[in-house]
Every structure is written in C-alpha cells, then in structure tokens.
C-alpha cells in the first residue's frame, strides 16, 4: 500500500512550524482577528447561551492546540444546511445539505431543488400568521423564508428538510449572492468546464448570462451566471448538476497552497455577508478531521424525486418511497452498530464493497472527441456480460474526466474497475441504471 501524500494543509503547517517568532505572533493576531470578526458579524448565536460562548482567549488557545486531540476521539457525524439567497436576500435559491463522517472522512453533498413542493405544518402556518397576519399552506421550498422571514429559517426551511430526511440539521449557513461573487473573486476565480454555450437575458432579475463552452477561469460574476443558468431542456435539475460541478472545482481551488495568501480578503468578505448558528468552538472541533480531507472524498447526490406540474405550477416532488435507502447510504455509512455480548459492546461495520450486478441497464455517451469510442466500450462491457443497451454522443460537448451517473452508488462503484479515476454522481431520476460518460484523457 503506497504511503499517503501529505495534504496541502499539512505542508503549510510544516512551513509554519519552521517560521520565526515574529511570524508566530502575526499568526496569533490573525487568529484573534478571525475570532473577533466571526463573533461580531457572522455568528447568530441561536444554538448556545451567552454563558457558553467561547471567549477570545479560549478560542485562540483551541486554534493553537488543534493537533493535541486524541486519535481515539469519538465519531463526528455532522450535518449542515447551506443556503444561497437570491438578489433580494429572501428566497433560498440554492439549498444543499452537507454531511461529514469522521470515520470515512467523506463529505457528502445533497442538492434539494428550490422548486420542491412543501406542505406547511400547522406550527409553520401559525408562525406565518404571527409574522404576516395571514398564512400559507403550500409553496415551493425556496419561498418559505420569503413568506415568513429569513430569520425564521430554522423553523421553516430547515424544519421541512429535517422532517423529510429524518435527521437533525446541526447547523446552518446562509450565503448572500453578493458574498458568493466576492468569495470567488477573493480566491482568484475558479477553473471549471462550461459544458455548453449559455445565453440568457432577464432585465427584471438583472441577470445577463453569456458564457462560451470550454474550460474557463470564472470570476465572481461569471460564476454566478454559471450556477444560475437553467434555461434549457434540463431546467432546474440541469442547474443542480452544474452547481455540483462548480462546487467540486471550488473545493479543488480551496485546497491549493496559493489560497493561504487570500485569507485576509476572505475574512473581510465572510464577516460582512455570511451568517451561521455554528459557534467558533464547533467549527474548530472539526478541523483535526477536515485537515486530512481530500477532494476525492467529496460526493454529490440529488434528493430522489421528479419534476411535475400540480395544476399550472411546476414543482419538484420528493419520492418518499426511496427516502429510507437514500438516507441510509448518505448518513449512516460506516456507523457502528452495537451488539451486546457478555455485557460488553462491540462494533460491527456496514459492508462497503461495491455490488456486482451485470443486469443493470447501461448507456454510454462519448464526450472524448474520439470517434467510435462509445461503441468500443460497449463491445468491451458486453463481452464480459454487462447489458449496454444504448450508445451515443454526449450533448454537453467535450469533458476532461470520465463520469459514472447512477441511481445507486453501490452499483456504480463496480465500474471503477474499468474507469479508475471516474467521478460518480448519484441521480435517482435517470432512465438507465448506469450512464457512463467518456471524457478526454
């Protein structure tokens, strides 16, 4: 087994340890500035009492001594909801739930369409009556905070998400559209493959999209255009897929060593435009695990369901029949299952091996630019017993990696034996069990 390469954060930490005393003192001042800005501008203080808020001195001490945690520390399984608001700051047009498991060290990102149909609970209706003097019984998910106030996001949007997933949302983060643009500019832009020409103008929303197909380094304004575009046959679901592609590229940029020089500018942006109910001590608890994070441990999912009209309104309807398996795969992978034996508790691990199933239906799409490549891959897989029933060209242009889209992640993993560095995307709404997109190499 090859030795694991040190992460960028580890290399930076090694450099820091060799620094002179003056650099150390500057670092302490920077940490103090971060904590002060965080507690003053970002932290909403909703989850803990004032007496339990970390002091500046304790927070700095915790930050300096992050590596003294014992390796036997108990499991961290944390779930955070992240919301991106619209131009007006009322509607949550981007909704993702992020789960971190310290045993697998994976970060799993679930996208929930903004058009998800919501039936308001009696408590939520009462809250709206209190806030607005009238109530709402049905709406789209992104509209809940527009009706009853962004400050009530935990009782409204988060309350609905918790009810659907059956899991507790530990903390939330709300990011304004201005903050999104400013963060991208602060880190020097993000390189991403634009899968198609994107042209759309909407003066009412002050939205003007003009992006050309190909690999580009998007600045803040262009990144906004990329993640907001949905004016094609794929609609909101296509936009979610592009948001996931962008997030993947964004994480790669954040893990690069050059990001260290951008920290002061990032602090300025975050302190003015982002709100969260996570205390500084809660964030610091995750650092010993997240510093080992690798971009390959980032996985993306779309909540099961389908787009359909109810009356004359287009909604995304969640498929609750698929929800149990969906939630188990994301939130309970590798969680210990206690068994009683002679008074002791032992741990049993869930099976992590891929499922070999040659009866899955497969479509292969060619995005490599090599003529006939999809047909050759079809012959190869059919010869060993798989069922490739469709081949064609990928309509999103050339891409630079292999993709495996699947209804079930365990079924997708068996194809990593043939496409070693492929990225898996789970999409329960697919027509085929597996869709393989062949990229350039």
pLDDT in tens, 170-219: 999 898 877 888 888 888 898 888 888 888 876 656 677 888 888 889 99
Residue 57: strand, helix, or coil: helix
**Residue 215 half-sphere exposure toward CB, CA atoms < 13 A:** 7
Strand ranges (DSSP E) for 161-213?
A: 171-175, 190-194, 198-202, 207-211
| 96 and 81 Cβ atoms separated by less than 8 Å | yes
Q: Pick the residue with more confidence: 333 or 74?
A: 333
| Cα–Cα separations (whole angstroms), residue 135 to 16, 156, 160 | 56, 13, 16
Q: What is the pLDDT of residues 341-381, one digit of tens each?
A: 333 332 333 345 677 888 899 999 999 888 899 999 999 99
Span 407-433, average pLDDT: 85
For 429, list phi and psi in degrees, rounded to 5. Answer: -90, 5
For residue 140, pLDDT over 60 is answered with yes
Residue 435 sits at φ, ψ, to 5 deg, of -130, 120
pLDDT at 101: 81
Cβ contact 244:237 at 8 Å = no
**What is the β-pairing status of strands 138-140 and 117-119?**
antiparallel
**Tokens found for residue 21:** 């005393």
Residue 392 pLDDT: 93
Number of C-beta neighbours around residue 91 at 10 A:
21
Report pLDDT for 419.
92
The answer, yes or no, to whether residue 114 has pLDDT greater than 70, is: yes
The more confidently predicted of residues 432 and 346 is 432
Element (H, E) at 95: strand 92-101
| Contact between residue 338 and residue 346 where contact means Cβ atoms under 8 Å apart | yes
Within the chain, what is the greatest distance between any pair of CA atoms?
71
* Three state DSSP letters for 159-184: HHHHHHHCCCCCEEEEECHHHHHHHH
- For residue 105, the 8-state DSSP code is T
How far apart CA 1 and CA 72 sit, in angstroms, is: 23
Give the whole-angstrom CA distance, residue 5 versus residue 232: 42
Angle at 350 between CA 165 and CA 417, to 5 degrees: 100
Q: How far apart are CA 412 and CA 163, in angstroms?
A: 29
Strand partners, 310: 313
For helices 177-186 and 263-273, angle between their N-to-C axes, nearest 10 degrees: 180
What CA–CA distances, in Å, run from 22 to 26, 28, 29, 61, 282?
6, 10, 11, 18, 29
Closest CA relative to residue 437, chosen from 399, 403, 392:
403
Enumerate domains of the chain plus CATH numbers: 361-438 (3.30.70.2390)
Alpha carbon of residue 49 to chain centroid: 29
Task: Say whether pLDDT at 277 is over 80.
Answer: yes
DSSP state of 232: S
Higher pLDDT, 175 or 296: 175
Mean pLDDT on 383-398: 87
Task: Kindly report which listed range (30-34, 44-48, 326-330, 411-415) carries the lowest average pLDDT score.
Answer: 30-34
């Amino acid at each position: 087994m090859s030795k694991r390469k040190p992460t960028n954060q580890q290399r930076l930490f090694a450099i820091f340890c060799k620094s002179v005393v003056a650099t150390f003192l500057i670092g302490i001042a920077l940490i103090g500035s971060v904590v002060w800005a965080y507690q003053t501008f970002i932290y909403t203080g909703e989850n803990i009492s004032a007496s339990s808020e970390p002091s500046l001195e304790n927070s700095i001490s915790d930050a300096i001594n992050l590596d003294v945690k014992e390796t036997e520390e108990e499991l961290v399984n944390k779930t955070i909801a992240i919301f991106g608001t619209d131009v007006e700051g009322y509607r949550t047009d981007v909704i993702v739930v992020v789960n971190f498991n310290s045993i697998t060290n994976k970060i799993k990102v679930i996208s929930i369409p903004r058009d998800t149909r919501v039936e308001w609970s009696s408590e939520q209706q009462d809250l709206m009556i209190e806030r607005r003097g009238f109530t709402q019984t049905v709406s789209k998910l992104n509209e809940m905070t527009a009706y009853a106030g962004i400050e009530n996001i935990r009782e409204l949007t988060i309350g609905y998400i918790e009810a659907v997933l059956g899991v507790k949302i530990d903390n939330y983060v709300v990011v304004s559209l201005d903050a999104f643009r400013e963060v991208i500019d602060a880190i020097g832009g993000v390189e991403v493959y634009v899968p198609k020409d994107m042209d759309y103008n909407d003066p009412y929303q002050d939205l003007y999209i003009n992006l050309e197909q190909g690999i580009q380094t998007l600045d803040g304004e262009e990144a906004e255009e990329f993640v907001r575009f949905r004016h094609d046959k794929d609609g909101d679901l296509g936009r979610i897929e592009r948001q996931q592609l962008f997030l993947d590229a964004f994480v790669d940029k954040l893990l690069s060593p050059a990001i260290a020089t951008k920290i002061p500018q990032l602090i300025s942006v975050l302190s003015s435009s982002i709100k969260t109910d996570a205390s500084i001590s809660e964030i610091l608890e995750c650092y010993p695990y997240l510093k080992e994070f690798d971009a390959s441990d980032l996985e993306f999912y779309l909540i099961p369901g389908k787009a359909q009209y109810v009356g004359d309104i287009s909604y995304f309807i969640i498929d609750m029949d698929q929800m149990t398996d969906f939630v188990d795969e994301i939130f309970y992978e590798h969680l210990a299952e206690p068994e009683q034996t002679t008074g002791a508790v032992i741990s049993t691990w869930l099976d992590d091996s891929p499922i070999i199933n040659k009866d899955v239906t497969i479509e292969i799409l060619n995005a490599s630019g090599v003529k006939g490549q999809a047909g050759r891959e079809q012959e190869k897989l059919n010869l060993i017993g798989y069922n490739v029933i469709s081949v064609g060209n990928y309509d999103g242009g050339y891409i630079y990696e292999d993709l495996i889209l699947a209804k079930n992640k365990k079924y997708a993993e068996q194809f990593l034996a043939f496409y070693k560095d492929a990225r898996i995307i789970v999409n329960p709404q697919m027509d085929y069990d597996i869709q393989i997109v062949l990229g350039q190499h």
